[in-house]
Structure 1
Amino acid sequence: MVEGIRFLWSATQGYRLRPWRSPYLRWRLETYSGKKAETVEAKDFWRLMWGERGQVLRFSRWLGEMRGYAEGEKGR
Protein backbone atom coordinates (compact mmCIF):
# COMPACT_ATOMS: atom_id res chain seq x y z
CA MET A 1 0.00 0.00 0.00
CA VAL A 2 2.88 2.35 0.76
CA GLU A 3 4.18 1.90 -2.79
CA GLY A 4 0.79 2.86 -4.22
CA ILE A 5 0.72 6.03 -2.15
CA ARG A 6 4.30 6.80 -3.17
CA PHE A 7 3.34 6.33 -6.83
CA LEU A 8 0.28 8.59 -6.51
CA TRP A 9 2.36 11.22 -4.74
CA SER A 10 4.82 11.42 -7.63
CA ALA A 11 2.22 10.95 -10.41
CA THR A 12 0.05 13.80 -9.13
CA GLN A 13 2.76 16.40 -8.60
CA GLY A 14 1.07 19.77 -8.94
CA TYR A 15 -2.39 18.15 -8.81
CA ARG A 16 -2.36 16.45 -5.42
CA LEU A 17 -5.69 17.83 -4.25
CA ARG A 18 -7.27 17.00 -7.64
CA PRO A 19 -5.51 13.88 -8.96
CA TRP A 20 -8.02 13.47 -11.81
CA ARG A 21 -6.56 16.64 -13.36
CA SER A 22 -3.03 15.23 -13.52
CA PRO A 23 -2.05 14.91 -17.21
CA TYR A 24 -0.18 11.69 -16.44
CA LEU A 25 -3.09 10.05 -14.63
CA ARG A 26 -5.52 11.25 -17.29
CA TRP A 27 -3.36 9.61 -19.93
CA ARG A 28 -3.14 6.40 -17.88
CA LEU A 29 -6.90 6.40 -17.34
CA GLU A 30 -7.43 6.91 -21.06
CA THR A 31 -5.19 3.99 -21.99
CA TYR A 32 -6.77 1.74 -19.35
CA SER A 33 -10.44 2.57 -19.84
CA GLY A 34 -10.66 4.06 -23.32
CA LYS A 35 -12.33 7.24 -22.02
CA LYS A 36 -10.84 10.36 -23.64
CA ALA A 37 -8.40 12.11 -21.30
CA GLU A 38 -9.97 15.53 -21.90
CA THR A 39 -13.33 14.29 -20.57
CA VAL A 40 -12.07 12.70 -17.33
CA GLU A 41 -13.80 14.11 -14.26
CA ALA A 42 -13.51 13.42 -10.54
CA LYS A 43 -16.34 10.88 -10.61
CA ASP A 44 -14.61 8.94 -13.40
CA PHE A 45 -11.34 8.86 -11.49
CA TRP A 46 -12.89 7.72 -8.20
CA ARG A 47 -15.19 5.22 -9.92
CA LEU A 48 -12.18 3.62 -11.60
CA MET A 49 -10.12 3.62 -8.40
CA TRP A 50 -12.94 1.97 -6.44
CA GLY A 51 -14.07 -0.38 -9.17
CA GLU A 52 -10.55 -1.58 -9.90
CA ARG A 53 -9.24 -1.55 -6.34
CA GLY A 54 -8.03 -5.14 -6.67
CA GLN A 55 -5.95 -4.18 -9.69
CA VAL A 56 -4.69 -1.08 -7.89
CA LEU A 57 -3.56 -3.21 -4.94
CA ARG A 58 -1.84 -5.70 -7.26
CA PHE A 59 -0.11 -2.80 -9.01
CA SER A 60 1.02 -1.46 -5.64
CA ARG A 61 2.52 -4.84 -4.69
CA TRP A 62 4.24 -5.04 -8.07
CA LEU A 63 5.72 -1.56 -7.55
CA GLY A 64 7.12 -2.70 -4.20
CA GLU A 65 8.64 -5.76 -5.81
CA MET A 66 10.24 -3.71 -8.59
CA ARG A 67 11.58 -1.17 -6.09
CA GLY A 68 13.10 -4.05 -4.14
CA TYR A 69 14.87 -5.29 -7.26
CA ALA A 70 16.09 -1.79 -8.06
CA GLU A 71 17.40 -1.22 -4.54
CA GLY A 72 19.03 -4.64 -4.58
CA GLU A 73 20.85 -3.69 -7.77
CA LYS A 74 22.11 -0.48 -6.17
CA GLY A 75 23.68 -2.38 -3.29
CA ARG A 76 25.86 -4.53 -5.55
Structure 2
Amino acid sequence: MIGFLWQSSRGYRLRPWASPYLRWRMETYWGTHAEQIDFNQFWSFLWTHRWEMWRFLRWAGRMRHH
Protein backbone atom coordinates (compact mmCIF):
# COMPACT_ATOMS: atom_id res chain seq x y z
CA MET A 1 0.00 0.00 0.00
CA ILE A 2 2.72 2.44 0.98
CA GLY A 3 4.73 1.24 -2.01
CA PHE A 4 2.01 2.36 -4.42
CA LEU A 5 1.84 5.80 -2.83
CA TRP A 6 5.61 6.11 -2.93
CA GLN A 7 5.83 5.14 -6.62
CA SER A 8 2.83 7.15 -7.79
CA SER A 9 4.14 10.36 -6.25
CA ARG A 10 7.72 10.00 -7.55
CA GLY A 11 9.18 13.42 -8.19
CA TYR A 12 6.26 15.12 -6.43
CA ARG A 13 6.38 13.62 -2.95
CA LEU A 14 6.33 16.95 -1.14
CA ARG A 15 3.58 18.31 -3.39
CA PRO A 16 1.49 15.40 -4.69
CA TRP A 17 -1.19 17.73 -6.13
CA ALA A 18 1.34 18.65 -8.87
CA SER A 19 1.95 15.03 -9.96
CA PRO A 20 0.76 14.49 -13.54
CA TYR A 21 -0.01 10.84 -12.77
CA LEU A 22 -2.14 11.58 -9.70
CA ARG A 23 -3.89 14.42 -11.52
CA TRP A 24 -4.67 12.07 -14.42
CA ARG A 25 -6.04 9.44 -12.01
CA MET A 26 -8.26 12.05 -10.36
CA GLU A 27 -9.40 13.28 -13.78
CA THR A 28 -10.48 9.80 -14.85
CA TYR A 29 -12.26 9.16 -11.55
CA TRP A 30 -13.72 12.58 -10.77
CA GLY A 31 -14.12 14.15 -14.20
CA THR A 32 -12.31 17.41 -13.42
CA HIS A 33 -9.67 18.30 -16.01
CA ALA A 34 -6.20 17.47 -14.69
CA GLU A 35 -4.78 20.92 -15.36
CA GLN A 36 -7.52 22.48 -13.20
CA ILE A 37 -6.68 20.42 -10.10
CA ASP A 38 -4.92 22.57 -7.52
CA PHE A 39 -3.90 22.18 -3.88
CA ASN A 40 -7.41 22.76 -2.50
CA GLN A 41 -9.17 20.48 -4.97
CA PHE A 42 -6.61 17.73 -4.42
CA TRP A 43 -6.98 17.64 -0.64
CA SER A 44 -10.76 18.14 -0.84
CA PHE A 45 -10.97 15.14 -3.17
CA LEU A 46 -8.84 12.98 -0.87
CA TRP A 47 -10.87 13.93 2.17
CA THR A 48 -14.22 13.39 0.46
CA HIS A 49 -13.21 10.04 -1.04
CA ARG A 50 -10.93 8.88 1.77
CA TRP A 51 -12.69 5.53 2.33
CA GLU A 52 -12.68 4.71 -1.37
CA MET A 53 -9.01 5.68 -1.55
CA TRP A 54 -8.24 3.48 1.45
CA ARG A 55 -10.03 0.57 -0.20
CA PHE A 56 -8.13 1.17 -3.46
CA LEU A 57 -4.77 1.35 -1.67
CA ARG A 58 -5.46 -1.92 0.15
CA TRP A 59 -6.38 -3.52 -3.19
CA ALA A 60 -3.21 -2.15 -4.84
CA GLY A 61 -1.14 -3.53 -1.98
CA ARG A 62 -2.67 -6.98 -2.39
CA MET A 63 -2.15 -6.93 -6.16
CA ARG A 64 1.47 -5.95 -5.71
CA HIS A 65 2.09 -9.08 -3.65
CA HIS A 66 0.53 -11.37 -6.28
Fold equivalence (TM over 0.5) = yes
Query: Which one-letter code corresponds to 1:60 in the other structure?
Result: L
The question of whether the paired residues in 1 share the 8 Å contact of 2:3 and 2:61 is answered with: no
4+ runs deviating over 4 angstroms = none
Query: Which one-letter code corresponds to 2:16 in the other structure?
Result: P
Q: Counterpart in 1 of 2:49?
A: 52
Note the C-alpha offset of 1:37.
0.6
Q: Which runs of 5+ in 2 are unaligned?
A: none
Q: Which runs of 5+ in 1 are unaligned?
A: 70-76
Q: TM-score if structure 2 supplies the norm length?
A: 0.90
The question of whether the paired residues in 1 share the 8 Å contact of 2:26 and 2:32 is answered with: yes
For the aligned residues, what is the CA RMSD? 1.0
Q: TM-score if structure 1 supplies the norm length?
A: 0.79
The question of whether the paired residues in 1 share the 8 Å contact of 2:4 and 2:61 is answered with: no
Within 5 A, what are the aligned runs for 1:1-76?
A: 3=1, 5-69=2-66
